[in-house]
Amino acid sequence: GARGGGIVMVQLREEVGRALQDCVRRRKDIRSQVEYEIILGSLDLSDQELESISERLQELIVTPLLELDPAHLPVALDISLENNFLQGSGIASLCTLLANVREMGFAFTRCMKLHHNSLNDSAAGPIAQLIRCQLDHPEYKGGPSVVQELHLSHNQFTDKGVRTISNAVIGGGYPFHTYDRSRIPLWIRVEQNPSTPLRRLLGDPNLVCDARGPNCGPRKCACKPVPPFHSQ
């Protein structure tokens, strides 16, 4: 398609346009804190389509947050982009806009559901950079305003890509602290990729909880000490 302002412009399919209008959903967590979910899963989205809507998507995220009391910011964002045809460049655009939203102080990315796509190692760098930008944010004080869940199964990441992402986590603030000061690993799903299982790839079983016990899961971990990763 034609280019405008450095962004690839493509003709959006009707179903994508409809989904975009209603993709930002507001809800409240158990502490009555406002949080948002971005729902764009199962739309057969290509990289080019995701790139073309990134500017509009940032506007849709930021506009309602302008009305919130600054004391309630940043809010948590959960991103659902599973079951699409994404490979890499679309994720780069997405991570750039999510980093922008964090830098502006509006929201942090808490969960990314990117499973069942065709993501390759070119997507790993942008994901790793998003993890780092949230950890490095000047207002970050060691709490839960970090990426907490990464659903990357059923893609095309090799060991190189998985290492790129895991290197952003190790020694970088994980396990993170919850509001009650519990420590929780990053929940990362990378099975069904052409890569070595995470525990074996990292070469240190103390870095990974397999989350098989009743007291370990996405929001809790009973390991002592708590490792940086949960991975099944």
Strand partners, 149: 111, 187
pLDDT of residue 8: 47
How far is residue 189's CA from residue 196's CA, in Å, rounded to a whole number?
13
> What does each of the 232 residues of the chain score in pLDDT, given as a tens digit?
434 444 445 678 999 999 999 999 999 876 668 899 999 999 999 999 999 999 999 999 999 999 999 988 999 999 999 999 999 999 999 999 999 999 999 999 999 999 999 999 999 999 999 999 999 998 887 789 999 999 999 999 999 999 999 999 997 889 999 888 899 999 999 999 999 999 999 999 899 999 888 899 888 999 999 999 999 7
- Asked whether the bond before 74 is cis by omega within 30 degrees of 0, the reply is yes
Contact predicate 79/94, CB 8 Å: yes
CA-closest candidate to residue 1, choices 58, 47, 57, 56: 47
Amino acid making up residue 33: Q
Give the C-alpha distances (Å, rounded to integers) separating 6 from 3, 51, 125, 135, 186: 6, 10, 20, 28, 34
Q: What is the pTM of this model?
A: 0.93
- Asked whether the bond before 197 is cis by omega within 30 degrees of 0, the reply is no
Strand partners, 209: 230
How far is residue 78's CA from residue 83's CA, in Å, rounded to a whole number?
16
